[in-house]
Structure 1
Amino acid sequence: MLDSLRRNASGWVAKVLIGLLALSFAVWGIADIFTGFGGDTVAEVGDQKIDAATYQVELRNEMNQFSQRLGQPLSLDQARQFGIDRAALSRLISLAALDGAASDLGLAVGDEAVGIDITTDPNLQGPFGRFDRDLFRQSLQQNGISEERFIEQRRRAMSRKQVIEVIQVGVAAPEALIEMVSRFQEETRVAGYVILPQSLVGEIADPDEETVQKFYEAGASAFTLPETRDFSIMVLEPEDVTRTMAVSEEDLQAAYEQRRGEYDVPERRDVHQITFASEEEANEALTKLRGGENVETVVKGLGLTMKDVDLGKVSRDDMLSPELADAAFSLEGTGYSEPVRGPLGWSILHVTGIEPGKPSTYEDVKEELRAAIELELARDQIYDIQNTIEDARAGGEPLADVAKRYNLTVRSIDGITADGKTRNGDTVELPELPDLLNTVYENQQGDQIPPLDSGKDGYYWVEIDAVNPAELQPLDEVRDRVVSIWKQQKRADDLEALATSLVERGNAGESFEKIAAEYGRSVLSTPPLQRYAQNDTFSRTAVTRLFAAPEGGFTFGPVGLGDSLIVMQVKDVRSPQLDANSDKYKETRTTLVDAIQADMLQTFVVGYQQELGVEVNNTLFQQMTATDTGL
């Protein structure tokens, strides 16, 4: 969800800023700006500071996005290898440069505008298209960001957008450039072609022993079985502990009395929140409303619609602040509250309907409460249990004996490669444990591997039972495979040599039809092909080579599907008839304008970084990227 919040925090601007990541470091030279100042500031751009908490959130989000693309969890060490740690800092430095520009220009965004932007954000709305306070709160909690911090980030993002709009307003692409790009993209070619199947080179004789030996040695990696490892896993999670627990009826009833509010259905009210820039404006509006003026008229006068101010059916906890909740729920019936100051400005709460709450009963929630308490107790105890297990392991107790004592299961997995497969290439079903394969391959047999986070409030232990090194298969065992691969390569090389000779003859002036007839083929003709076309006959490589050849010239390339080659002659080069009113032409203009705007923004940001000056706290940066703790 935070990805959605971050995307929306700057709207379309975020897409443009992605391109600044690599550029920023490339321009201002990361090695030159690292310093060793102390404190909790990771970097400074002029007087704009990037604190450790902001960097930690950004780095975690970048790692999560990269992990999703990879389809597996990403460790911090891997993140450093991919440069994600610096990319995250680069993005924040680019944003800080824009913040500095907004500050220098005196740009600001008021509470009312920020409030409207948040409450109308589609990513913060529930299934009925209204602002969902629960969704908002849960998202902030899950991603470790306070409400005040998020509001401030949104305010800054709106200021950045003003800067960017000023930079990019009025940008146009020259018509000559649009025409040149359009002609390049829309040019088509007609070609004559013949397909050369591998059967044209005839049978390939078996290689002699010396050739087999050399080919085997040169391609040893193709005949080497990968390293595999045998290991055992033991998992301890709260559910394993709850099996040994019993909560008395007396304790259960006491817990219910303490938590009754969690199970009671709260009162809900239909509420409009109308926000004003000042208390005076709110009081003027309240006088009009209580005097009979239609609420839609007052809302429209603010440049809003009723949908913008409608919170829907909400409880006290759904409201943006306690002050707003008190104002809405202290009304004895429907009506308007007095103006109240909230996080986003002065507001009037308009209650249009009331749905009474419904108290829970002990019998209805008893079993659900029992399960919740058992799980909480298990979570409290699980750390102590893992410490006891570690003490036993340190004393030399085998993992299997520890498992029996705690009624846990040890699972053994044998012969698995670093990519989670067998040597035969079959995928192995592994438990979903963070960083499991990395742990298996980063340690050796006999290592005392510390417990790892299971990702579900528990721990798991790994023991390396055996390391089976990579093994080159003897030639006698793979001879047939060696000969088969050599023949495939020889056949492909001979076919490419044939295609090369035919292209040379064609470019020397021989008739294509005459050349084709020698091999029992007829020259076929294509319909007009576009530059980026591809199909089962014409691969992208073949089409690219066709468009690189002059009119009348010959070339060849692989077919789109199969192992044949296709020899081609450019018969006709057709320039497009451009229509400035066509959708395609307009699309090209838009694409070029976007590219020019992006270049202007990049130039501005990099220039501002140089003007303001960039400093990075190398000591803190290294500390934060040296361990996965907290990420």
Structure 2
Amino acid sequence: MSKSVGKQASKAAVWVLMGLLILGLGGFGISNFGGSIDAIGSVGDEKIAVDSYARALRQELNAQQAATGKALSFAEAEAGGLVEQVRARVIANAALDNEVRRIGVSVGDATVAREVLAVPAFQGPDGQFDRETYRFVLQQNGMTESAFETQIRKDTARSLLQAGVVAGLGTPETYADTLYDFIAERRSASLIRLTADDLETPVPEPTEARIAQQYEANPDAYTAPRTRRITYAWLTPDMMLNRIEPDEEMLRALYEERIDEFVQPERRLVERLVFPDEAEAQAVADAIAAGETSFDAAVEARGLGLADIDMGDIAEVDIGGAAGAAVFALTAPGVTGPHMSDLGPALFRVNGILAAQETPFEDARESLVEEAARDRATRMIGDMLADFEDRLAAGATLEDLAAETDMELGQVDFTGANEDGIAAYQAFRDAAMALAEDDFPEILELEDGGIFAIRLDEEVPPTLRPLDAVRDQVAADARAAETLARLGQRAEALAGRLAAGEAIETLGVEVEVQEGLSRGGLTPPALSDALFAMAEPGETRVVTADEAAWLIRLDAVLPPDPDDPAAGFLRETIAAQAGQGMAQDLYAYFAQELVNSGGLTLDQAAINAVHAQFR
């Protein structure tokens, strides 16, 4: 057991060090706080160094950025509870270090040296430990060799204690089996789906009183979202197309640049069957010519399928050499060879001939005009960019830009759901969402090479629309609600007949039977939830959702499918997660007890000083 624990501790120490170095590299600039503040607190006799706390915070911020691809501000980390989690972690580590010191657990110099030599960040170009690299990396992380090696000694000793706490925990088999049986349980059910077509009489149009009731009971449905009234000036290549005369020289240059698109050589659908030597290839070719076998039979005889020999539709140059010339010399589909290929002697079969295609410049000109004009327009906009920026910097308004330049003025009530006009551009939507009232207009780029500048004129909070403005929507919603209510009533009536002893097949409606359903196996989700909420076969539930009502009856409760290939993996995953959860809980309780018994003191001024470095 001691050997196993030692290995776990060693592995843990390596990962602690890797995290310290790899994530810590993102923490250049974490200064040594120095002065009289050297700790944010202590557990027993173990101080929690300000540098250690700062480094742990930096590592967490870097880890979050690596995971999400977005830099996380310190304020966001505080709001999300990450800062508190980091502080709890360094407090727990201090509690463990204090206990390690109390019981006399330590590691020798040989172990420390082994851990240092194993860290890739300290290795030189030859893959061997390099002392200068070691010194440089530590210096960049604000650490001395002595401090780092002391930290290794602490981390390794702490890992020994951690491993000892959780060692010997077995897999909670009963707990895992119970969870697995619950999660993988299957059910069979009979379902009746009722829609508006199943009502005996259509639902009438709602009265004014019903419309008012629907409106008053569901204000959120008729409330306009937050609206940002934005003025913008913009210019896109499309706006300039009609001002650009086509340049024949440019069009011909563009045609030559895309010549492969307009001039395509003859292509053929070809298969290639390769042989070990030319004699065997020739023997098969002779047999095919004599009618003694076929190309397909020869493919099968070599243990191949047609997919193994298919070359697709190719040009002569794709085959090359004499083989390519011979394949393209055929005037109709057929077999030729043997010819030497890059894989050896081969027979080639042509299955189809795709004629060469050539689009003359005159025929391609029209399609090239728009592309050339758009390209020129994009470059012209780029040339104007500096002038637009200078005008804004000199105090010009968006209205001035529209009046004095090619830019056009517009306004939009932006809610985030707009997708037409300028709001069709993601760059505009992003800028509109981030815009503040005191932001100075600046030139920004659109995805198609256009530009724009925006100003927030007013922000209108979510507002309940007047009933007259949404009357049609409210009336439709009221009618839909009444339809759903009536469908639910009919489903309840059918459920009552079942409870009275009638057979489901005699209810006069279509019944769908589903066997062996897993959790989530029915849609809408409310239907699956209702199915697995029932305890005994024969129970029924009525579910209304998505403009329909369902009557669902539980027919059978089935155990997990033993033939499901995913069953074993699911069982193992549940057991592993359960074991990890127990180990984490046990460690957390142990660490908290060490904090309680050792005594925790915190210096809020020191904590604030660390936090100030991140703001």
Question: TM-score, normalising length from structure 2?
Answer: 0.52
TM-fit CA distance, 1:92: 2.1
What is the Cα deviation at residue 611 of structure 1? 1.0
How far residue 548 of structure 1 moved from its aligned partner, in angstroms, is 2.6
**Cα gap change, 1:466 to 1:584, in 2 (>3 Å):** closer
2:556 counterpart residue number: 572
The answer (yes or no) to whether the contact 2:112–2:149 under 8 Å persists in 1 is yes
Equivalent residues of 2:121, 2:137 under 8 A apart: no
Q: 1:543 aligns with which of 507, 515, 528?
A: 528
Q: Distance in 1 between matches of 2:411 and 2:135?
A: 45
What secondary structure sits across from 2:394 in the alignment? helix
Post-superposition Cα deviations, 1:14-65, rounded to whole Å, max 9, x if no partner, equal: 9xxxxxxxxxxxxxxxxxxxxxxx8353332223333334333433444455
Q: Could you say which residue in structure 1 is the equivalent of 2:540?
A: 554
CA distance in 2, matches of 1:594, 1:511: 49
Q: Is the 8 A contact 1:13 1:161 kept in 2?
A: no
Query: Which residue matches 1:216?
Result: 215
Please list, as runs of the form range in 1=range in 2, the aligned pairs for 1:598-609 lying within 5 A after superposition. 598-609=584-595
Question: AA paired with 1:553?
Answer: E
In 1, Cα distance between the equivalents of 2:554 and 2:122?
A: 56
Cα distance in 2 for residues equivalent to 1:482 and 1:88: 51
Residues 191-211 of structure 1: CA deviation (Å, up to 9, x unaligned): 222333454357543323333
Over 3 Å counting, the alpha-carbon distance change for 1:216 and 1:577 in structure 2 is closer
Give the Cα separation in 2 of the matches to 1:606 and 1:467.
52
Residue equivalent to 2:470: 478
For residue 604 of structure 1, report the CA deviation from its aligned partner.
0.6
What is aligned with 2:517?
529
Q: Deviations over 1:347-396 (max 9, x none)?
A: xxxxxxxxxxxxxxxxxxxxxxxxxxxxxxxxxxxxxxxxxxxxxxxxxx
Give the match for residue 260 of structure 1: none
Residue among 401, 404, 408 paired with 2:394: 401
CA contact (8 A) 1:421 1:428 kept: no
Say which SS state the counterpart of residue 555 (structure 1) adopts.
strand
Out of 454, 457, 464, the residue aligned to residue 466 of structure 1 is 457
Aligned mate of 1:511, from 503, 516, 532 = 503
Write the letter of the residue equivalent to 1:77. A
The counterpart of 1:593, out of the listed 556, 579, 598, is 579
Task: Give 3-state SS (helix, strand or coil) of 2:470's partner.
Answer: helix
**Structure 1 spans left out of the alignment, 5+ residues:** 15-37, 234-396, 405-409, 450-461
**Post-superposition shift, 1:67?**
5.9
* Structure 2: distance between partners of 1:124 and 1:428: 48
**2:159 aligned residue (146, 158, 161):** 161
SS in structure 1 at match of 2:469: helix
Could you tell me whether the CA contact under 8 Å between 2:210 and 2:478 is conserved in 1? no
SS at structure 2 position matched to 1:527? strand
Mapped contact 1:45–1:612 kept (Cα < 8 A) = yes
Cα deviation for residue 610 of structure 1 reads 0.9
Which of 37, 40, 63 is the equivalent residue of 1:39?
37
Task: Report if the CA contact (8 A) 1:9-1:154 is conserved.
Answer: no
Q: CA shift at 1:575, angstroms?
A: 3.8
* 2: CA distance, partners of 1:124 / 1:213: 74
Query: Do residues 9 (structure 1) and 8 (structure 2) align?
Result: no
Counterpart CA distance in 1 for 2:570 and 2:104 is: 41
The superposition leaves residues 427-479 of structure 1 with CA deviations (integer Å, 9 ceiling, x where unpaired) of 7645999xx889755xx54x999xxxxxxxxxxxx997533323544433333
Contact 1:10 1:161 in 2 (8 A): no
Separation in structure 1 between the aligned mates of residue 486 and residue 126 of structure 2, nearest angstrom:
66
Alignment of 1:102-113 (within 5 A): 102-113=100-111
Matching residue within 597, 600, 606 for 1:611: 597
Residues of 1 paired with 2:184 and 2:540: CA distance?
Answer: 22
> Could you tell me how far apart the structure 1 residues matched to 2:19 and 2:209 are?
63
Q: Is the partner of 1:528 in helix, strand or coil?
A: strand
* Partner residue in 2 for 1:341: none
Q: Tell me, in whole angstroms, the C-alpha distance in 2 between the residues paired with 1:133 and 1:510.
A: 87
The corresponding residue for 1:353 is none
Shift of 1:177: 3.9
Pairwise CA distance, 1:11: 9.1
Asked if structure 2 preserves the Cα contact closer than 8 Å seen for 1:422 and 1:428, the reply is no
Say whether the 8 Å CA contact 1:173–1:596 is kept in structure 2. Answer: no
Q: Which residue of 2 aligns with 1:227?
A: 227
Amino acid at match of 1:215: Q
Matches within 5 A, 1:105-504: 105-117=103-115, 120=118, 146=143, 148=145, 152-173=150-171, 175-197=173-195, 199-201=197-199, 203-222=202-221, 223-228=223-228, 230=230, 400-401=393-394, 422=418, 429-430=426-427, 440-441=435-436, 445=438, 465-470=456-461, 471-504=463-496
Deviation at 1:93, TM superposition (A): 1.8
- Helix, strand or coil: the match of 1:552? coil
Secondary structure (helix, strand or coil) at the match of 2:614 reads: coil
Q: Which residue of 1 aligns with 2:76?
A: 78
Aligned-residue offset at 1:605? 1.1
Q: Once the 2 structures are TM-superposed, how far is the Cα of residue 521 of structure 1 from its aligned partner?
A: 0.7
How much has 1:528 moved relative to structure 2?
1.7
Matching residue of 2:276: none
Aligned AA for 2:599? G
Counterpart contact for 2:488–2:544, Cα < 8 Å? no
Mapped partners of 2:130, 2:543: distance in 1 = 57
Q: Distance in 1 between matches of 2:470 and 2:464?
A: 10
Deviation at 1:219?
3.8
Task: Supply the distance in 2 between the matched residues of 1:413 and 1:617 (Cα, whole angstroms).
Answer: 57
> Structure 1 residues 56, 551: CA separation in 2 closer, same or farther (over 3 Å shift)?
same
The residue aligned with 1:394 is none
Does the 8 Å contact 1:46/1:100 carry over to 2?
yes
Structure number with greater Rg is 2
Contact 1:195 1:566 in 2 (8 A): yes
**Which SS does the other structure have where 1:96 is aligned?**
helix
Which residue is equivalent to 1:99? 97
Structure 1 553/221 Cα, relative in aligned 2: closer, same or farther at 3 Å? Answer: closer
One-letter amino acid of the structure 2 residue matched with residue 50 of structure 1: I
Structure 2 CA distance, aligned partners of 1:571 and 1:183? 18
CA distance in 2 between partners of 1:200 and 1:66 (Å): 54
Q: Provide the C-alpha distance between the structure 2 equivalents of 1:88 and 1:108, rounded to a whole number of angstroms.
A: 25
User: Partners of 2:568 and 2:457 in 1: how far apart?
Assistant: 67
Contact kept, 8 Å, 1:229 with 1:467, in 2: the verdict is yes
State the Cα distance separating 1:505 from its structure 2 match.
Answer: 4.5
Q: 1:571 to 1:421 in 2, by over 3 A?
A: closer
Figure out how many residues of one structure are paired with residues of the other and give that number: 406
CA apart distance, 1:166: 0.6
Task: Pick closer, same or farther for the CA change 1:68–1:486 going to 2, 3 Å.
Answer: farther
Q: Is the 8 A contact 2:172 2:579 kept in 1?
A: no
- Shift of residue 169 of structure 1? 1.5
Indicate how the Cα distance of structure 1 residues 472 and 596 shifts in structure 2: closer, same or farther if over 3 A, else same: closer
Tell me which amino acid in the other structure corresponds to 1:9.
W
Distance in 1 between the 2:198 and 2:13 partners? 56
Query: How far is the alpha carbon of 1:226 from its aligned partner?
Result: 0.9
For 2:537, give the aligned amino acid. Answer: E
Q: What TM-score, normalized by structure 1, do the two folds share? A: 0.51
Shift of 1:161: 2.1
Contact kept in structure 2, 1:49 and 1:96, CA below 8 Å: yes
Q: Give the percent of matched residue pairs that are identical in Structure 1 and Structure 2.
A: 23
The structural deviation recorded for 1:601 is 1.1
**Change in CA separation of 1:228 and 1:174 when aligned onto 2, cut-off 3 Å:** closer
